[in-house]
Structure 1
Amino acid sequence: MHDLLKLDALGQAWAVRKGEVSPRELAEAAIARIEACDGTINAVVHRRFERALAEAGETDPEAPFAGVPTLLKDLGWAMAGEPYRAGSRTLDGIFAERDGYAVTKLRRAGFTILGRTNTPEFGTAITTEPVTSGPTRNPYDPRYSSGGSSGGSAAAVAAGMVAVASASDGGGSIRIPASMCGLVGLKPGRGRVSSGPSGGEPWAGFSAAGLLCRTVRDSAATLDVIAGTMPGDPYGAPAWRRPLAEEVGADPGRLRIGFLTEHPGGGLPSDPDLVAAVTGAAGLLEALGHDVEPGGPAALAEDGFATHFGTIVAAHVAADLEDIGRWRGRPVELDELETRNRILGAAGRKLDAVGYVTSRDWIDGFRRRMAAWWESHDLLLMPSLGVAPFRLGWLPPDDVSTSRGRTNQAVAFTSPVNATGQPAISLPLHHTAEGLPVGVQLVAAAGREDLLVRVAAQIEEERPFRHAAMRRRL
């Protein structure tokens, strides 16, 4: 049965459809894997095994992912009747009243939801080490971080607990854990996946919901499931001409691809593994027939981005605190928060409307200046993570200056893409001498997830991804 867990989600669904395994048996195998290795990894913070097994027995056999086990990130991804903590003790005792639209779509697609995964408080860190539930460890080496903020989901997939798990990305939180854990991490473009019915524009549209997977075809097929504008959404992404799953194996044509091994803004140390990862991917793309040359958008070098991005995030953290106060019936005091969010919340509470709108206007201009580069290019290749794989504790929780500086380095290549709302995908194409995975990301123009899938599938076929962690005895 463990061999079935090594299959991707589409492979597991096919095994169920052929009668090789029942949905309940597949859920039982995933539960056994969680119980066997999560004591080391600490990816799953809430287990709903009994209910999941009952639901598995009622799965619609016609659903595309009938009987496939999955886990939900405990940030966003609300599920009716289940606890919702977002990595924070301020939400102790809070239960979701209704499903998010994306969760409803996963359930209709036949997924069996086994529980919820660990996340840093409010998703504001690039490592998953919350005070509430402790650190999630990297399946490749438990001394290392699994990344954040979708680190629990990434570790669960990398360890073979499930084939796919839900995630979200407000500054790199799909692509960074994908890089750290050797996975495929597709961040959808803005408006592609609804945040309703409870949300409209998480972090002013910076944040996007998606899934962490081991294969490109799973990334495409699962995004097909959750994508789509819902009633009342503030906007939607342009429709694809066909399902993403049909783009796997399609010829991407001869593409114009720029690549960056160093950040145009300077001041970011150049790590040899990141350089090797990008140059290796550039060479592979060139061998596949694409036109590849160094260079990227000049806008990436502009001063002021981090300040305006941070202003918007702080404002939304402060607004979230007000929401939590209403949910639980008493205001959130700043001393209830971890240091990072105490500072963000305090800064957000001091902002006025003019300051917030000024930062949004600056980001609007930045998005247009970035978009101009894609008028003459198809894709941008960059590191997924701006630093080498790091150990747990690398971001000291109470040393704000050090933590902020290291975070800014780590998200230097990801957060601008959240600000522009473009789709991007992280692919596991490199390993350090110690065997730790290092991802590279490809960024497409707005609405072009289809192009990302075509190229990523082409790369995966030429150089199949290694997923050594899930085959280890944990």
Structure 2
Amino acid sequence: MTRCHAYRDDALGDLDAVGLVQALRDGSVSADELVEAAIARAEAVNPTLNGLAYRDYDRARARAAAAGRFGGFFDGVPSFLKDNVAAEGMPTMEGTDAWEPRPAPADGDFARAFLATGLVALGKTQMSEFGFSAAAEHPRLGPVRNPWHPDYTAGASSSGSGAFVAAGVVPIAHANDGGGSIRIPASCNGLVGLKPSRGRLPLDKDMRQMPLRIVANGVVTRSVRDTAAFYREMEKLHRNPKLPPIGDITRPGKQRLRIAVCTRSVHREAAPEVRDLTLKTAALLEELGHRVTPIDNPIPPRFVDDFLLYWAFLAFALVRDGKRRFGPSFDRTRLDNLTLGLDRFAARNLHRVPVAIARLSRVRRITSRLAAQYEVVLTPTLADVTPPVGHLDPTADYEQIMDRLIDWVAFTPLQNVTGEPAISLPLTQSAAGLPVGMMFAAPLGREARLLELAYELEEAQPWARIQDGRSTAAGVR
């Protein structure tokens, strides 16, 4: 299998973010060296992976030169922001080219906290248009490709972040999740992707104003300790008193958990290969001493229709308010067929939106009852293996795109609606050698439990490393 990665003998090596912090502290590398290495890696693989939305290299170099003055645990570690949050001096295009870019005058709430951890943003990463699709394949901006095999999608909407972290460009990158957009690229690219509880991390104003706040910010990483360290550091900057603290999680937990395993989503049974991999993960959990019980999915089938209508309503709001929101250059004719199809669907069904939102708001009653019996629920992250580029072609008919989306992204939207945390871990691979994520969900505020379990599974079954295979990036090994 052909792979495209950027690992080589430079300042970054194959260290994770915590490893780079240690290297910075012992003086074996400098922030300037890390940023230059990351820029070189990004430029080496981007012609193949197409993960860059915006380069902000000069500002990154200036920030690296001032490393030590910003503070923060990750001070000097290179990273990226996703192209749907406000960051000073960078435009926000949200995966489209439907208006003229305008640099933001100031950092938004999330970027301000993210950068306060010391992470150095090299720019922004590409995403699907407005985050509506699970694959970034814009007709003019081009597809974001999977570094494990560039003929396949990198998932979405946090596609560029997922591709670049997996390819070794940076060890950690911003991602956010409104229907699976942290967990989907984590699954496709062999990464750790934790969607946190609602309210755990700050949101920019536009995301806070949603009728049902389904979006959560987070990161994708290659190691559990990087994800755990990020949430520990963010908690120092943004502490939600309504949620139990995560704290400093550095090792597996000792408690043996009651874990439910479910291979059927609200919509469909997982594909046979994915179902078998999920059951093998359940067997591993039993070997580790956890009590694993198969269950039927308790969520009513109407959940799919309600979530789709709410998703469409968000598209309707963006399209109809485009000129006010994005400026007079906004041109709806440049939007893709998925966005426009969602807009039309919502326009025909606006009278049903309040009832759909009300029903979605009550779904957590069901998961709360489930939490009384089980501390964690295991499902596959996605219902099938990663598809090739073109499977979710945004120039296809809306009905085809939507049918394929609903079929593939069958498990992740639940936690966006309930606000509960869920983590995708790269525990398995398909017969074709592509990563297949396993998802673990917990009650609201129980990210610490998920991180402890993730540490245990990482130790018991270390994930495959992309750098152990062939690289196609010219001059990059």
Same fold (TM over 0.5): yes
Aligned to 2:417: 419
Report the CA distance between 1:468 and its aligned residue: 1.6
Aligned to 1:321: 319
Report the CA distance between 1:16 and its aligned residue: 0.7
Between the aligned residues of both structures, percent identity stands at 35
Report the CA distance between 1:8 and its aligned residue: 0.7
User: How does 1:24-63 map onto structure 2 within 5 Å?
Assistant: 24-60=32-68, 62-63=71-72
Which of 381, 387, 391 aligns to 1:390? It is: 387
Aligned to 1:287: 287
C-alpha deviations, 1:335-377, integer Å up to 9, x for none? 331111011123334554x532211111122221222111111
Which of 224, 240, 244 aligns to 1:240? It is: 244
Q: Contact 1:100–1:198 at 8 Å: present in 2 too? A: no
Aligned to 1:73: 82
Q: Judging changes above 3 Å, is the alpha-carbon distance between structure 1 residues 266 and 341 closer, same or farther for their aligned structure 2 residues?
A: closer
Q: Contact 1:70–1:114 at 8 Å: present in 2 too? A: yes
Whether 2:440 is the aligned partner of 1:442: answer: yes
Report the CA distance between 1:203 and its aligned residue: 6.8
Tell me the SS of whatever aligns to 1:166.
Answer: strand
User: How does 1:301-316 map onto structure 2 within 5 Å?
Assistant: 302-316=300-314
Q: Contact 1:5–1:162 at 8 Å: present in 2 too? A: no
Work out the CA distance in 2 between the residues paired with 1:297 and 1:380.
Answer: 11
Q: Contact 1:189–1:237 at 8 Å: present in 2 too? A: no
Work out the CA distance in 2 between the residues paired with 1:282 and 1:122.
Answer: 35
5+ residue gaps in structure 1?
Answer: none
What is the letter of the counterpart of residue 136 of structure 2? T
Report the CA distance between 1:91 and its aligned residue: 3.1
Report the CA distance between 1:95 and its aligned residue: 2.3
Which of 392, 406, 409 aligns to 1:408? It is: 406
C-alpha deviations, 1:232-275, integer Å up to 9, x for none? xxxx57333452xx223142401100101233x4644x423312
Q: Contact 1:194–1:229 at 8 Å: present in 2 too? A: no
Q: Contact 2:21–2:77 at 8 Å: present in 1 too? A: yes
Q: Judging changes above 3 Å, is the alpha-carbon distance between structure 1 residues 469 and 124 closer, same or farther for their aligned structure 2 residues?
A: farther
TM-score (norm: length of structure 1): 0.92
Aligned to 1:259: 261
Q: Judging changes above 3 Å, is the alpha-carbon distance between structure 1 residues 242 and 135 closer, same or farther for their aligned structure 2 residues?
A: closer
What is the letter of the counterpart of residue 305 of structure 1? F
Whether 2:461 is the aligned partner of 1:463: answer: yes
Q: Contact 1:258–1:296 at 8 Å: present in 2 too? A: no
Paired residue total: 462
Q: Judging changes above 3 Å, is the alpha-carbon distance between structure 1 residues 288 and 106 closer, same or farther for their aligned structure 2 residues?
A: same
Q: Judging changes above 3 Å, is the alpha-carbon distance between structure 1 residues 179 and 89 closer, same or farther for their aligned structure 2 residues?
A: same
Q: Contact 1:120–1:130 at 8 Å: present in 2 too? A: yes
Q: Judging changes above 3 Å, is the alpha-carbon distance between structure 1 residues 130 and 464 closer, same or farther for their aligned structure 2 residues?
A: same
Q: Judging changes above 3 Å, is the alpha-carbon distance between structure 1 residues 318 and 230 closer, same or farther for their aligned structure 2 residues?
A: farther
Q: Contact 2:128–2:157 at 8 Å: present in 1 too? A: yes
Q: Judging changes above 3 Å, is the alpha-carbon distance between structure 1 residues 348 and 401 closer, same or farther for their aligned structure 2 residues?
A: closer
Higher mean C-alpha displacement, 309-318 vs 160-169: 309-318
Tell me the SS of whatever aligns to 1:125.
Answer: coil
RMSD over aligned CA atoms reads 2.1
Which of 199, 213, 216 aligns to 2:221? It is: 213
TM-score (norm: length of structure 2): 0.91
Which of 370, 373, 386 aligns to 1:376? It is: 373
Tell me the SS of whatever aligns to 2:423.
Answer: strand
Q: Judging changes above 3 Å, is the alpha-carbon distance between structure 1 residues 337 and 366 closer, same or farther for their aligned structure 2 residues?
A: same
Work out the CA distance in 1 between the residues paired with 2:130 and 2:198.
Answer: 20
What is the letter of the counterpart of residue 69 of structure 1? P
Tell me the SS of whatever aligns to 1:204.
Answer: coil
Tell me the SS of whatever aligns to 2:424.
Answer: strand
5+ residue gaps in structure 2?
Answer: 1-8
Q: Judging changes above 3 Å, is the alpha-carbon distance between structure 1 residues 223 and 180 closer, same or farther for their aligned structure 2 residues?
A: same
Work out the CA distance in 2 between the residues paired with 1:203 and 1:443.
Answer: 23
What is the letter of the counterpart of residue 397 of structure 2? D
What is the letter of the counterpart of residue 253 of structure 1? Q
Work out the CA distance in 2 between the residues paired with 1:346 and 1:470.
Answer: 47
Aligned to 1:343: 341
Work out the CA distance in 2 between the residues paired with 1:119 and 1:152.
Answer: 6
